[in-house]
């Protein structure tokens, strides 16, 4: 334990519980300056029983300590030089300087100037001088505790931002070297307001940042120094460019009657995607990304089908993905209906053929047959039974010419002819 008092005579007061006890004090108590060590002994009335206490005392003098650095705020800060002005001591004295931390002299600190370090912050730091002159006793002066303030980080360059400032892009904070040992942390700001969670050296711009000013602050912390934040200049955020993560595609049979399927691609969450269908450059339908199939019709035959993907999203420029147009070829009817014959199958009776259901615009030709052989001149949709047909099987071949499809040919089932009129 160290007691502090003003330099001069020490008034040592010892209270005992026996008025006949005696007190003895060993050590300097007159004209005390600097550190002194006292031993106090209390002897009981019997002259034999004693109690002893040892005490360190620092008797302080007014030693002026001033800044010796150019910070200009008058504070004695970590990382700056301080000094004991020589003029406060008489010219007749030879002055020897020392600095003490927690009542122990600091190795090598024997100059009037001293650089405050991290080790001094929060500790008892004092100036000590030894004054000597010929013919006079040596005098040791110890100053009062110096209030050491936290240092100021002076090597702290402002950060800059790298990267294209557009929604969806990533910005990166860069900075030159700070003071040795400084720990750097980051914070991004939107129009001067903290962006929650944006506390690393990089930041991905979101739609919320569109047309805002984005800046970054770097805060340096160092033991025994005041934290310091340096801010970058703000950058204005432009609309982003929409990009797919899965490329749009189109597949299917590009023939009349074929089914075409569009994969609209994968875009950012929240994007609105539309499919625009065009025939020979003229739009004929717009569907959602889920309505992605189309059955080619007669209208599409011999045209070029093109598909565009239109994508919109908040904070992004509208995007259009154009697919290569496809030429629509002639199709093959998936299922050709079998014609049916109805009517009177007796001599002079009339048989008629129903070709079945075909796409709109189909045109038909008919070829009637007797036992599989063509009946000359029988090319209408009906046929009058003759005597020559008795006992024979009559059938018909239907030839269909369909716009956009290959011509089809199919025979009906045969009908037996009897001689009953």
Q: What is the DSSP letter of 420?
A: -
Is residue 73 predicted with pLDDT exceeding 90?
A: no
Q: Please give the structure tokens belonging to residue 210.
A: 């569109």
Torsion of CA 47, 51, 56, 57, to 10 degrees: -60
Q: Please give the structure tokens belonging to residue 127.
A: 């100036």
- Asked whether residue 333 is domain-assigned, the answer is no
Q: What is the DSSP letter of 144?
A: P
Give per-residue pLDDT as tens, 384-400: 999 999 999 999 999 99
Q: Give me the pLDDT at residue 72, please.
A: 66
Q: Place 59 in a pLDDT band, splitting at 50, 70 and 90.
A: confident
- What CATH number has the domain bearing residue 274? 2.60.40
Rounded mean pLDDT, 331-359: 95
Residues 256 and 218 in one domain: no
List the single range of 12-26, 253-267, 268-282, 306-320 with lowest mean pLDDT.
12-26
Is residue 250 predicted with pLDDT exceeding 70?
A: yes
124 vs 380: CA distance, rounded Å? 123
Rounded mean pLDDT, 390-411: 97
Rounded mean pLDDT, 275-292: 97
Residues 98 and 52 in one domain: no
Q: Place 335 in a pLDDT band, splitting at 50, 70 and 90.
A: very high
305 vs 282: CA distance, rounded Å? 9
Q: Give me the pLDDT at residue 156, please.
A: 97
Rounded mean pLDDT, 301-310: 97
- Asked whether residue 421 is domain-assigned, the answer is no
Query: Residue 261, Cβ neighbours under 10 Å: how many?
Result: 11
Q: Please give the structure tokens belonging to residue 366.
A: 């008919």
Cα-based angle 42, 46, 50 (whole degrees, multiple of 5): 30
Q: Give me the pLDDT at residue 15, please.
A: 83
404 vs 259: CA distance, rounded Å? 14
Residues 66 and 102 in one domain: yes
Q: How far is CA 290 from CA 249, 261, 272, 344, in A?
A: 14, 10, 11, 54
* Boundary (domain end) residue, out of 14, 45, 60: 60
- Asked whether residue 135 is domain-assigned, the answer is yes
Give per-residue pLDDT as tens, 126-164: 999 999 999 899 999 999 999 999 999 999 999 999 999
Is residue 71 predicted with pLDDT exceeding 80?
A: no
Residues 169 and 196 in one domain: yes
- Asked whether residue 96 is domain-assigned, the answer is yes
**Residue 14 φ/ψ, nearest 5 degrees:** -120, 125
Is residue 49 predicted with pLDDT exceeding 70?
A: no
Q: What is the DSSP letter of 388?
A: G
Is residue 334 predicted with pLDDT exceeding 80?
A: yes
- Asked whether residue 202 is domain-assigned, the answer is yes
Residues 113 and 185 in one domain: no
Q: Give me the pLDDT at residue 329, please.
A: 97
Strands of 202-334 (E only): list them: 202-204, 213-221, 225-226, 228-231, 235-236, 240-241, 249-252, 259-263, 272-279, 282-288, 293-295, 304-312, 316-317, 319-322, 326-327
Residues 66 and 148 in one domain: yes
* Boundary (domain end) residue, out of 106, 124, 152: 152
Q: Give me the pLDDT at residue 420, please.
A: 60
Residues 74 and 111 in one domain: yes
- What CATH number has the domain bearing residue 171? 2.60.40.2700
Residues 45 and 109 in one domain: no
Q: Is the CA virtual torsion 409, 412, 417, 421 positive or negative?
A: negative
Mapping DSSP to helix (H, G, I), strand (E, B) and coil, where does residue 263 land?
Answer: strand
Question: Which residues face 186 on adjacent strands?
Answer: 218
98 vs 125: CA distance, rounded Å? 11
List the single range of 28-32, 58-62, 275-279 with lowest mean pLDDT.
28-32
Give per-residue pLDDT as tens, 186-232: 999 999 999 999 999 999 999 999 999 999 999 999 999 999 999 99
- Asked whether residue 334 is domain-assigned, the answer is no
Residues 166 and 111 in one domain: no
Q: Structural domain of residue 229, as residue ranges?
A: 160-240
Q: How far is C-alpha 403 from the chain's CA centre?
A: 57
Nearest CA to 35 out of 64, 62, 55, 65 is that of 55
* Boundary (domain end) residue, out of 216, 240, 264: 240
Residues 198 and 129 in one domain: no
Q: Give me the pLDDT at residue 346, please.
A: 92
- Asked whether residue 15 is domain-assigned, the answer is yes
Q: Place 13 in a pLDDT band, splitting at 50, 70 and 90.
A: confident
- Asked whether residue 332 is domain-assigned, the answer is no
Rg (alpha carbons) of the chain, rounded to whole number: 53
Mean pLDDT taken over the chain: 94
Q: How far is CA 202 from CA 31, 163, 219, 292, in A?
A: 66, 10, 15, 38
Residues 66 and 147 in one domain: yes
Q: Please give the structure tokens belonging to residue 120.
A: 């001094």
Total domain count for the chain?
5
Residues 73 and 12 in one domain: no
């Amino acid at each position: 334990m160290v007691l502090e008092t003003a330099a001069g005579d020490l008034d040592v007061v010892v209270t005992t519980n026996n008025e006949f006890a005696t007190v003895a004090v060993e050590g300097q108590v007159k004209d005390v300056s600097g550190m002194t060590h006292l031993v106090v002994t209390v002897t009981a009335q019997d002259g034999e029983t004693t109690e002893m206490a040892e005490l360190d005392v620092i008797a302080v003098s007014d030693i002026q300590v001033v800044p010796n650095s150019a910070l200009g705020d008058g504070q004695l800060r970590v990382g700056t030089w301080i000094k004991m002005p020589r003029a406060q001591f008489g010219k007749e004295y030879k002055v020897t300087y020392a600095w003490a931390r927690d009542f122990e002299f600091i190795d090598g600190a024997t100059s009037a100037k001293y650089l405050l370090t991290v080790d001094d912050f929060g500790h008892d730091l004092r100036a000590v001088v030894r004054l000597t002159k010929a013919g006079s006793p040596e005098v040791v002066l110890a100053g009062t505790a110096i209030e050491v303030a936290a240092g100021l980080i002076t090597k702290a360059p402002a950060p800059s931002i790298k990267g294209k400032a557009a929604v969806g892009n990533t910005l990166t904070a860069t900075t030159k070297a700070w003071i040795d040992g400084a720990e750097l942390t980051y914070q991004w700001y939107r129009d001067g307001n903290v962006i929650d969670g944006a506390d690393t050296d990089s930041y991905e711009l979101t739609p919320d940042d569109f047309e805002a000013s984005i800046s970054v602050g770097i805060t340096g912390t160092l033991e025994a120094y005041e934290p310091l934040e340096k801010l970058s200049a703000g950058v204005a955020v432009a609309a982003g460019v929409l990009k797919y993560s899965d490329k749009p595609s189109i597949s299917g049979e590009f023939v009349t009657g074929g089914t075409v399927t569009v994969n609209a691609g994968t875009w950012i969450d929240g994007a609105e995607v539309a499919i625009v269908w065009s025939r020979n450059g003229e739009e004929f339908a717009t569907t959602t990304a889920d309505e992605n199939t189309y059955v080619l019709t007669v209208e599409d035959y011999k045209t070029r089908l093109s598909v565009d993907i239109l994508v919109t999203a908040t904070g992004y420029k509208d995007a259009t993905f154009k697919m290569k147009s496809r030429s629509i070829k002639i199709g093959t009817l998936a299922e050709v209906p079998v014609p049916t014959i109805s009517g009177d199958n007796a001599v002079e009776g009339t048989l008629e053929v129903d070709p079945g259901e075909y796409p709109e615009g189909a045109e038909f030709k008919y070829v009637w047959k007797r036992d599989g052989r063509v009946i000359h001149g029988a090319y209408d949709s009906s046929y009058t039974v003759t005597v020559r047909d008795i006992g024979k099987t009559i059938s018909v071949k239907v030839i269909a010419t369909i716009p956009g499809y290959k011509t089809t040919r199919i025979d009906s089932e045969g009908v037996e002819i009897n001689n009953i009129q």
